[in-house]
Structure 1
Amino acid sequence: MASCNHVQWLTVRQEETNFELQYGNRLHNITKCLPQPSTQYPSVVLFAGNRMKSKALRSLYPQSAISTCRKFGIVNICIDSTTENEEHPVLLAESVPNYAQAKSRGKQTCHEASNHPVAWPSLEIPRRQEFIDHVQARLLSLFTDVICLFAQDYGGLDAVAETLITWATIGPASNLEHPIRPRLLIVANISGNHFTSEALRLQLKVLSHPGFSDSFSSLNVINVLGVSGHTPRGHFSAFEQVLKEEIRLQRAARINTHTLFSMVHITAFFDLALENFARSPPSTFSFIHASRDDFKVSPNFPEHLRSFMRVLAEKNLPGQYAWEFIASAIILDAFPPDMHMFSPSEVFRVLYREACVLGIQEYLDTQQLSANLVCADIEANMISTFSLMKHGSQSSASLRRHYLERNSEHGKLLKLPLSCIGCLQRTTEHPLECGHAICDICVCIFGTPSKGLEYHYGLTQCLFCLTEITFQARLVPPTCRIRLIAFDGGGCKGVVSIGFIQKLQQGLDPTRPHAVQENSDLSIGGVINLGLSGKNWTPDQCLTFFHKFAKIIFASKAKARFSIWSWVSLWSWISWIMRISGGRYDADILEKVLQEAYGTTPMLHTARPSGMKYAVTATTLSDATLCLISNYHIEGKQTSNLGYKHLPPTSDKGEILIWEAARCTTAAPTIFNPKRLRSYGTFQDGGLRNNNPVRPGLRLVSQIQKDGDCDIVLSIGNGFEQKPLSPVASNFRNLFLDGALARLYRASMESLSLNGQNSWDDHWHGLDEETKKNHFRLNLPLEGKEPSIDDIGSMNSLYQKTMCHQGDMIEVIRAFKAVTFFFELDRSLVKDGPFYTCYGSVLSRSPDAPRFIQLLTSDYPYAQFFNNGISLGYISNNDICKLCGRYTKLVEFRVRHSSDQADIYLRFARLFRRRISAFPNTIDWFTEQQKLNAVFGQPNHKSIAGPRQSDCSCQLQRKRDIPISSPGNLKRRLVARTRTRRKKIRGNGD
């Protein structure tokens, strides 16, 4: 890439109806030139003038091109090269009094530029000079430390005064409680006899303006005489000393007010401030709110606080403990790694105080405490913790952990039903053996990454009570999508589903009995789903249970009238209508069997690896509303347009046990009585609304992930009756078989709600061709009528037919294996002429990557990855770490822009290929998912400056030969060292 010599910071373009600001990414380019931009804290000095300004710049900064290069912007900026390696470098900005800018010739392709049309608040468009004055007063002043105005170039001190009064009238944009305002340094050229009086007159005129103190922090006037012709360097020595002192004073003020920003943060803040100005020039800019633009304070924080205070009151714990606890939790949330160290008092007042008052008000009322005094106590505790973090070189996470350890005696008593006690920001997702529970984010913060596994975390000790535990959680990687499995309902026909699961497990890995659970992220169904996902049974265990279960519950019929007609399904249905209540079979026997099988295990429990989500379907008795009973919580209040009601595993009403969920989902009308759950209501079989739960499952996915897409959707049926494509209508109408009731019965049995295969067909035909590639259906075609749900005599026959039926099983297995791989960027895109080079890694979310790669290469020895038809290399055991077993394939490819779509797929053989997880997708999407631009930190406390979350932590850690553009010369390559086992990087081929 050719070196960029442009220095324009902002350029103004005037259209007929509005102004447009063009930003040439200048601060980003300067950031890339600094050796440690995240720990370098620059000062920005703006020089405004013409000839005298240029002489001063040439004299003070002879090595800088800022005074000699052509100015294409209303303001231009570069770094003082003599300070670029210092902790406090100096950025030199310059402009002219009339804000003139040179016109560029042709398109400038050496740097990126973004255009920002400015939405002016009034109908009357301002003059160009007036508009740029607003840019200076409300945008540039936010980032300028010292403004040097050269009076001679402005036409005298009176003209300078008018400019300053104009800026002061417009006013600043910062809403910080202690905003840092630029210092003014006026450079005059007046004979000694008149300088003092003129300077005093200027100061009286400017300082008397009511808005001056809001816009500027000081005013200093210096006189430089004899500036004509050639000026020796020493001529500006006094000005240089005064300028350095002004910079030092401003830096000290920033340190005292916690507003000394790093170069990385200045760059990010300017991007956000520019967007804010373009949206509304009169609006204020909040640095604190801007730093939390990517992860805002949880809107449910008050509710979690309220839950915490209720438990605290129940356990009679002291209030002082509560305020310390809340302060520690706020520090954890407010100051992740990479976050700027704002004043904790200001952070509390801007982001948390209002939420805290809402959350603790109920407790304050009962204890007759003052909200102002309690908030002052919380703020004081935050300041104390912040001091330890800033001066003790401890992270907010380690301080939170130490606080919880010191107060473990109180922590033993704090067990919240819904709120994560670790952060008080989110709902719980992972139960611990001791009875406490934490959220996904706290698992990342406090858990230890499992060796050789991607996004697996473990805990050996509870954070809150210090109990020794064995805990491991599996999280969905951010660049992966969810793998969904949905089971049809069908009573005894469920052996068909179990048979397909057995075949799937054998195809994935016959040595891993839980291979199906390991390859799915969300499952939805009924009793079988609860066995596989809830109890973590193997498919063989499910089959054993199901045979026993069906034979017991369908062996004894309840005493009921019209039982003589029970063998005729139609008359069975009629008899159900005629009966007021009751089912054909004994519900007491059903409950006894379910309790023996599932025990007292709750839906959210520790008897299985944490992380996989599952749900079962049920419907309300009153209006048949679909309800999903799950093992996870959804943050916030449910939206009414989902088409279902979500029943979380725990709430203030208590826990839902697995056997209770099973009892609800099996309560089919005419078969079993409905089931009443305490405090929730009465429920019956979910198959009445969605016997095929694919659509509810997809709605669940949209609640769990933002985009709501799935890597794979597998719907598993229980057998269906094959019907002729062109049925022949009978000419004879049978009174009994073709009467109104009979026709109504047949229509209801074939409805989309009750008929799983018809529901799938309707779902399938509503998908676009691209989406269909990720949706699969396994079902068993049957000759003749389908067995009834209580036909235990047909179970063996159905199972044998299932094991002989192949269907799409091989393609389903290939799809699951392909989406086991996922892609992550190793770094941001690297500019390479008209293209960008993308460096990344293909990783595996398999729990046993060496075994997975061995099976894959034995079945498909020539399998390789491609991106848009270009080979990225073969799958090889050489990409597996010998110490930890983690799979990492380094890849690189080129794109024209970050918005271009990549499409990485695995080609098993010449005729078979499947996309890996989350493709096709843009590079921007991966950047956003991985938070590569999260310069102010992330909720999970991962740092963009530190190792990646999926990096191998053993000695053979993953590195690459990445050609990185050198700051000094973009043509020269700087090669990073690779790991001990050197690896050749394949480019656009093998």
Structure 2
Amino acid sequence: MDQGRNQNWTQVFFDKQRSKWCLAQLQRLRTLVDSLSRPGDQRPQTVLFCGDQKRNEALSSLFPTIWEARIGGDAGGISIHADAQTVEANAPLFLAVSNPMKISSGFSEDVDFESVIWHQGGENEWMGLNDAIHSRLLFLFTDVVCVFADDLGGIKPAVDLVERWWAACDGRPSQHPEGVWPTVIIFATDHNEDRFSQPHEVVDKRAGPSSRQQTLALIKTAEQCSSKTLQSFLEEAWDRRARRGNLFPASQLPDLFQAATKHLAGTRDIPFSFTISSYNPTKAYLHSLIAWLKLSVPHLGEHVALDMVGSAILFEAYPPEGHVYHPMDVWEGRYQRYVVEACDRVFPTPDQDVRKSDPSRISERPAVKLLTLFAEEFGKGGDWSLRARIAHLREVSGPLTRLDFRQNFVCLLCLASPPENVLKCAHSLCDQCVVRTGQPLPYHEYLFRVQCPLCTDMSTTKISLRPPTAGIRAWSMDGGGIRGYSQLCIFRRLENDCGCPLVNFVDFGIGTSAGGINILAMLACRWDLNDCLNLFTRFANQMFRKPKSAIGRAYARFNQIIKGCLYTRAQVNNVINQAFGKHSSRSMFDCSSAKIAVTSCYDFTKPALLTSYNGVKPQNKDPRLNQSERLDCDEEVLRITSYKIGDAANRTSSIPLIMQGFEDRLADGGLWAQNPSGLVIPEIERITGEDSSMLDLLISVGTGRASSDVTDQEFPLQSILERFGILGSVATFLLRKTFEHLDPESVHKQLLDCLSPSIYYRLNVELTPPLPRLDDVSAMTAIHAKVDHTDFSQPFRDIRLALLSSSFFFELEEMPKFKNGSYFCKGTIRRRVSAKNVKALLKSLHCENINFLLSRPQSEQSGSYLNDASGCHDVVGKYDATEKYCYMCRKFHLPVSFSVNTLGERVWLSAQLSNGMRRRISNFPRPMNWFVARQNLRNSKKLSCSGLDPGFKTKYKLRRCKV
């Protein structure tokens, strides 16, 4: 068992520069947990020894091996150690040592700590702070507290210390019941104070309410501090915690301790809650509840709708292999306040029969359902909460058929998250419910066959999800009317160079105007590029057909002046419906492959996005409102997921003065985002809940640019406006700023400054000015020729390398193991595209194999941060024609292993081709603790591919099989 250089569990010290007491979060507990053989199954028990000399004598007698390792650490710190003889047991023993009468006066700079939390208070508050740390932090994770009265000056000072502990936490260390609080034992050799001969007298006279009698004992003689005595108290503590669901796996203890430390530093009055720290629903959960109640109550009634909330809480609160808290603790700590508030919002009138005089009575029905289902299903093993949820849904399957299920604002299984996937039966599920209920399919990563758990429909739906540790590959297409034809020509050239379909290498696509139509055709309709080119040509010829006679052209101009447009709404709808065919009536939200967004503009003033996804943040819409009312909100960007593909194509390309506007006041997205590349990073944050580091690749495709920047050209009216003096100069300035705002190259210049050249690629062609008009169909031939003659060899080569390297991602197979001062990491490199596509890219790059390198750079400068890391490179694996498959799931599986100094150390995994080209694989550089959190390895077990396990994103993960 490791006895590292710093053995302190936590440490308090005074910072003279800031004049504040500090509480350091150290890595010691995590180090001990990582040293255990089965941290996911073992449930440690902790004994806290408080004192000085007599404490040391007892420890030397009971645990001589640990004492030889010089237990104690800093005299003012609180150290923790593991008993080497119990590390393989189901309940390993942790020993904590503190001196409640001393505190650190300084803090060593070389101590390894995650962060420092500043606790408000002056230097004279050290005693109260030390008492609060013992009672409100250490007691939460301690089963038995041994106080050695001789080291404190006798029994009376020892009892006074216990009184101060209970006073520091107001008699309640945490929100758990008294039965799981630690047992305090006072060891003393003083036989003169007979009035403390009975334990209950100490409690009644000194420690307050008699409800704490079972948590305080008094033993007079130090000889009774034996292993037998400790074992009896530990067994009692184990039984009490087991009855209340308070036995935590060792893998959860470091995160719980970190949460408790932050809680202590930030809040003095509210006891710490384990149930809330494990999972605390946010306001998004409230929005989901409100959406569900508004949808279901008119059809199902209040009782049925709230009963479904109860079974959904059970399903959400008890994931497979998750910690089983007492259901009443779960209800009161997590969900009660949200259910009450949702009921108050949905049922504002108290005169309804079910509410009578108490408007909160109806919110108690979920608690009753939760307790009932818990009692019926708990103990059956496996995913019992899922079985209980599905059984309850089948009970109310009759009333459920009366609901209009084609909605996109709440997952109908968990009622806790916005959905992202629509099944054939029109029910919608979130990603986590897809993983938990779906069957993983062979050959492809994170491809599931899902049978609807809500109805009796036997049909199945294939749903593909992005792996949680893989980054996002994004496309962005500018607006430009007829010049959007160049984008399809560029992509066809790139696809020919790659030798495989490009739609297999995209996770997110965004477009404006003509670029939006191209994105919808390629990603929503899944058409190949030849079909997309034919579609664009047919669409342009039908939409922008010009009258041949002079009279016809004059009439068209006159009609434009009278009606304010060249093409009516009916004409545009007819052309769009013919172009997209059967896909025109499909909802954008039904597209469950790549995420799609097209830009629009509301009332010419407010930006809007029409999306095929919800993301991790709630959308700004109310399901009870009609579509036009949903747009009236104060958010910066409107996001709407309810549009059909044909309607979205209409809105994103509705050019003012050319096409007639729509009733919902949505117009061409080019009015605010001619180049939507700048929206990619904010949308990635909405999709993933993380920052821009999730971006693997961004390909931005323009619609042609003039040979010189538009800002350098003289505007058509500039020479005239300059004759009007100051007013003309102001008008010229405003006109120039307007052209700069509409210039897509200005966004391109901004992205060059904030994104690495190995991530961001801009593809565009130079056109001879003046640029073709937005409706000039005759320019398509010249645009095609210009694309064919433009040299894209270098950017195409870099893009092919980026597509190839980002096709591989890394996953940890198990928690990193702490050995010999470093963490041993065992994982696999996996592939998220088919072998055929990888071979095609290798062939296009004139290579046959790939070496995977591990790098530890000395610095993280922008040049090496994302592509080439300086320092030594270790070959950890190789990809060639003889692929390594898992024999059960038939997926690419390349085992790799390496060591890191700390879990926070950033490492690079890169793919090096045989011709020397090298680029990082998906989502690197990353520290290993990011993968641990993303895969939720601390709370899950390593199981086979036959089912599912907690960990996907933040809750569930796919079971992996053994090679």
Where on the TM-score scale, by shorter chain, does this alignment land: which range?
0.7 to 0.9
Amino acid at match of 2:580: Y
- 1:778 partnered with 2:763: yes
1:768 equivalent to 2:753? Answer yes
Distance 2:253 2:304 in 1: 38
Once the two structures are superposed, the pairs formed by residues 168-317 of structure 1 within 5 Å of their partners are 168-171=166-169, 172=171, 174-176=173-175, 178-179=177-178, 180-189=180-189, 196-199=194-197, 204=201, 206-209=203-206, 211=208, 213=210, 217-224=214-221, 236=224, 243-280=230-267, 284-292=271-279, 296-315=280-299, 317=300
Residue in structure 2 matched with residue 87 of structure 1 by the alignment: 90
Spell out the pairing of 1:9-28 with structure 2 (5 A cutoff). Answer: 9-16=9-16, 17-21=19-23, 25-28=27-30
Q: Take 1:220 and 1:914, find their aligned partners in 2: how far apart are those partners?
A: 64
CA contact (8 A) 2:82 2:94 kept: yes
- Is 2:79–2:96's contact at 8 Å kept on the other side of the alignment? yes
User: How far does residue 255 in structure 1 lie from its aligned partner after superposition?
Assistant: 2.4
> Equivalences for 1:644-793 in 2 at 5 Å?
645-650=637-642, 656-676=643-663, 681-705=664-688, 706-709=690-693, 710-723=695-708, 758-765=743-750, 767-768=752-753, 771-793=756-778
Q: Aligned residues, how many?
A: 907
Alignment of 1:887 onto 2:892: yes
- With over 3 angstroms needed to count, the CA separation of the structure-2 counterparts of 1:157 and 1:475, relative to structure 1, is same
Whether the aligned pair in 2 keeps the contact of 1:273 and 1:285 (CA below 8 Å) is yes
Q: CA deviation at 1:89?
A: 4.0
Q: CA deviation at 1:331?
A: 1.5
- Structure 2 CA distance, aligned partners of 1:261 and 1:433? 41
Q: 1:410 aligns with which of 390, 395, 399?
A: 399
Partner AA of 1:623 in structure 2:
F
The match for 1:339 among 296, 311, 322 is 322
Structure 1 residue 877 corresponds to structure 2 residue 881: yes
2:364 is aligned to 376
**1:965 aligned residue:** none
Q: 2:42 & 2:745 partners in 1: Cα distance?
A: 59
The reply on whether 1:394 has 2:375 as its aligned counterpart is no
Contact in 2 for aligned 1:327/1:381 (Cα 8 Å): yes
Confirm or deny: 8 A CA contact 1:119 1:281 kept in the other structure: no
Give the corresponding residue for 2:545.
Answer: 555
Residues 800, 841 of structure 2: 8 Å contact kept: no
Deviations 1:326-348, CA, capped at 9 Å, x for gaps: 11111122122453221111111
Tell me by how many angstroms 1:427 deviates. Answer: 1.6
2:283 counterpart SS class: coil
Q: Distance in 2 between matches of 1:248 and 1:354?
A: 36
TM-superposition CA deviations, 1:9-31 (whole Å, max 9, x none)? 44444444344445654433443
* Preserved contact between residue 934 and residue 944 of structure 1 (Cα < 8 Å): no
Instruction: State whether structure 2 residue 162 is matched by structure 1 residue 164.
Output: yes
Structure 2 Cα separation of the partners of residues 773 and 436 of structure 1: 40
Whole-angstrom CA distance in 2 between matches of 1:517 and 1:631: 18
Structure 1, residues 162-213: CA drift from partner, whole Å, max 9, x if none?
A: 222222332345341514332233334356xx6755525x854652246455
Query: Which residue of the partner structure matches residue 861 of structure 2?
Result: none
Percent identity, aligned pairs only, is: 22
Q: Is the 8 A contact 1:182 1:216 kept in 2?
A: no
Provide the C-alpha distance between the structure 2 equivalents of 1:161 and 1:856, rounded to a whole number of angstroms: 75
Residue type of the alignment partner of 1:189: T
Q: Deviations over 1:137-169 (max 9, x none)?
A: 222222232333344444433233322222233
Instruction: Name the CA distance, whole Å, in 2 between partners of 1:927 and 1:465.
Output: 36
Return closer, same or farther for 1:540/1:182 CA change in 2, 3 Å cut-off.
same
Q: How does 1:475-490 map to 2 (within 5 A)?
A: 475-490=465-480
User: Residues 755, 491 of structure 1: CA spacing in aligned structure 2 closer, same or farther, 3 A cutoff?
Assistant: farther
CA shift in 2, pair 1:664/1:319, >3 Å: closer
Tell me whether 926-935 or 426-435 shows the greater mean CA deviation: 926-935
Q: Counterpart in 2 of 1:352?
A: 335
Render the CA deviation track for 1:651-706: whole Å, top value 9, x for unaligned: xxxxx222222222332233221122xxxx22322223333222234433333232
* AA aligned opposite 2:839: I
Question: Which residue identity does 2:950 align to in structure 1?
Answer: K
What is the aligned-residue RMSD (CA, Å)?
4.4
Q: In structure 2, do the counterparts of structure 1 residues 924 and 738 end up closer, same or farther at CA, with 3 Å as the change threshold?
A: farther
Q: Which moved more, 1:801-810 or 1:638-647?
A: 638-647
CA contact (8 A) 2:488 2:532 kept: yes
What one-letter code is carried by the residue in structure 1 that aligns with 2:304? Answer: Y
Q: Which one has the bigger helix percentage?
A: 2
The CA distance in 2 between the partners of 1:67 and 1:894, in whole Å, is 26
Give TM-score scaled by structure 2 length: 0.83
1:842 aligns with 2:829: yes
Please point out which of 399, 415, 430 is paired with 1:424. 415
Distance 1:701 1:26 in 2: 35
Structure 1 stretches of 5 or more lacking a match?
228-234, 567-571, 651-655, 958-978, 980-990
Does residue 916 (structure 1) correspond to residue 901 (structure 2)? The answer is no
Take 1:5 and 1:493, find their aligned partners in 2: how far apart are those partners?
66
Looking at structure 1, the residues matched to 802 and 33 of structure 2 have their Cα atoms a distance apart, in angstroms, of 43
* 1:355 CA displacement: 0.7
Structure-2 change in CA distance of 1:806 and 1:144 (3 Å): same
Distance 1:218 1:330 in 2: 33
State the partner residue of 1:901: 906
Structure 2 regions of 5+ residues with no counterpart? 622-631, 856-868, 943-947
Is 1:588 the counterpart of 2:570? The answer is yes
Give distance in 2, aligned partners of 1:733 and 1:207.
Answer: 91
One-letter code of the match for 2:155?
A: L
Worse overlay, 714-723 or 903-912 = 903-912
Partner of 2:628: none
Q: Whole-Å Cα distance in 2 between the matches of residues 38 and 161 of structure 1? A: 38
Moved more, 47-56 or 407-416: 47-56
Structure 2 vs 1, CA of residues 311 and 352 (structure 1 numbering), >3 Å: closer, same or farther? same
SS in 1 for 2:752: coil
Residues 642 and 601 of structure 1: CA distance in aligned 2, closer, same or farther (over 3 Å):
farther
Query: For the Cα contact (< 8 Å) 2:15–2:22, is it kept in 1?
Result: yes
Q: Deviations over 1:762-798 (max 9, x none)?
A: 5325532752332222222223533322222332342
Q: 1:942 aligns with which of 942, 946, 950?
A: 950
TM-score for the superposition, normalised by structure 1: 0.80
